[in-house]
Amino acid sequence: MLSINSYTPTSLLSDQTQNNVVDFLFKQLEQYGDPKENIRKALNYALGVDDKPGGYVIVGEVEGAIMGVVIVNITGMTGYIPENILVYIATHKDGRGKGYGKSLMQTAIDVTEGSIALHVEPENSAKRLYEKLGFTNKYLEMRLQK
pLDDT in tens, the chain (146 residues): 999 999 999 987 899 999 999 999 999 998 889 999 999 999 999 999 999 999 999 999 999 999 999 999 999 898 888 999 999 999 999 988 899 999 999 999 999 999 999 888 888 888 888 888 888 887 777 777 88
**Up-side HSE of residue 69: CA atoms within 13 Å toward CB?**
25
Q: Which amino acid is at 63?
A: E
Q: Which domains does the chain have, with CATH numbers?
A: 3-132 (3.40.630.30)
Give pTM, 2 decimals. 0.90
Q: ∠ CA(119), CA(25), CA(137), 5° rounding?
A: 10
